[in-house]
Amino acid sequence: MRECSHDCSSCSANCAERKQESFLKALNPGSSVKKVIAVVSGKGGVGKSLVTGLLASEMQRRGHRCAVLDADITGPSIPKSFGITEHAMGMEEYLLPVTTQSGLQIMSINLILENETEPVVWRGPVIAGAVTQFWTDVLWTDVDYMFVDMPPGTGDVPLTVFQSLPVDGVVIVTTPQDLVGMIVTKAVKMAEMMHVPVLGLVENMSYYLCPDCGRQHEIFGESRAERLAADFAIPHTARVPIDPKITAMVDMGEIEQVDGGCVSALVDSIENELPLS
């Protein structure tokens, strides 16, 4: 047996100590991002963008400097929910993110398109390349926590984010229907494959709180959040209600003013799991 030289690049052996090639991309030299959290789901329409906005806004209220990288290139909704209408400014060597009223830094494809209603008809590798550029070519200033609003599924873009960005943890978004058990399984297994911990599970559209009687009505079925969290050893859950007031505020671009109480305990958990020092 040939003695190991520890130079894996010139060796064809498939040994246990073989080093894996890193695909991580470097930030712009002037950027600083301490923690990266991906908000994911195995399917669309569950409210990842809403949860991303709520988590980032609640974290910003606690005095942290936060950012949102909108990786949903073909279905960007982050700028509208934050009431952003201006375009990102491009310098010679980098792009500047748009800053919200509370100081959140935002980058989304809609901030560089001439018309926000223009469809992005690109193939997967081009879309994935755009997401990578949002990480490498944007001047992110002293960011404590960056939340990445992921597209649905486990395809090109999610894989690019997990391989190119130093993701510290994921938050999985789901809804109460039975179908989502399979969807959560896919998201958890992808996180495991990428060796990224699952920080929490958010069940969106979990219930409706009747303003007259004060009772919770589980319109889409019995909550499965705690059961799914137990099955996959997910440390924390949060339940976001069906609330017309939240919908109206998001439509008006006022997500930063939404009461973040429904995700407050999850943000506590994130601060504990991913301390800045």
DSSP letter at 76 equals: -
Q: What pLDDT is recorded for position 211?
A: 87
**31-63 b/e with 16+ CB inside 10 Å = b?**
bebbbbbbbbbbbeebbbbbbbbbbbbbbbeee
Pairing of strands 216-217, 208-209: antiparallel
d(CA 124, CA 129): 9
Q: What pLDDT is recorded for position 93?
A: 84
Query: What burial class does residue 76 get, using C-beta atoms within 10 Å of its C-beta: 0-12 exposed, 13-18 middle, 19+ buried?
Result: buried
Task: For residue 257, give the amino acid letter.
Answer: Q
Q: What pLDDT is recorded for position 40?
A: 94
d(CA 153, CA 186): 8
Q: What pLDDT is recorded for position 13?
A: 53
Q: Nearest to residue 150, comparing CAs of 117, 190, 100, 121?
A: 190
- pLDDT by residue for the chain (277 residues), tens only, comes to 445 544 444 454 555 444 446 789 999 999 999 999 999 987 788 899 999 999 999 999 999 999 999 999 888 899 999 999 899 998 878 899 999 999 999 999 999 987 777 777 778 889 889 999 999 999 999 999 999 999 887 778 888 999 999 999 999 999 988 676 778 888 899 999 999 999 999 999 999 998 888 899 999 888 888 988 999 999 999 999 999 999 999 999 999 999 999 999 999 999 999 999 7
**What residue segments make up the domains of the chain, in order of their start?**
32-273
Query: What burial class does residue 203 get, using C-beta atoms within 10 Å of its C-beta: 0-12 exposed, 13-18 middle, 19+ buried?
Result: buried
Which fold, 32-273? Rossmann fold (3.40.50)
pTM: 0.89
Q: How far apart are the first and last CA of the chain?
A: 46
Q: What pLDDT is recorded for position 67?
A: 98
